[in-house]
Amino acid sequence: MNKPKCKLIGEDGNVFNLMGIAYKTLKRANLKEEADEMIKRIMESGSYMKALAIISEYVEIV
């Protein structure tokens, strides 16, 4: 998958905020299934660092 660019640097670091920004980026790139999968994996991850790692698997953080 070619990861869409997602501006997360400089944003509010709340994991739910970052997750929402990444989700919207994926949906705009017509990757709704990947967006839903990312949300599910983040909600099951149990840690902030794991959540960030999962986000970076789906989008290119800029």
- pLDDT greater than 70 at residue 1: no
Position 56, amino acid: S
Question: What local confidence, expressed as pLDDT, does residue 13 receive?
Answer: 87
Say how many domains are in the chain: 1
By residue range, what is the domain housing residue 31?
5-61
Per DSSP, the chain holds a count of helices (H) and strands (E) of 3, 2
pTM: 0.92
Report the distance separating Cα 16 and Cα 61, nearest Å.
16
Q: What is the pLDDT of residues 5-62, one digit of tens each?
A: 999 988 888 999 999 999 999 999 999 999 999 999 999 999 999 999 999 999 999 9
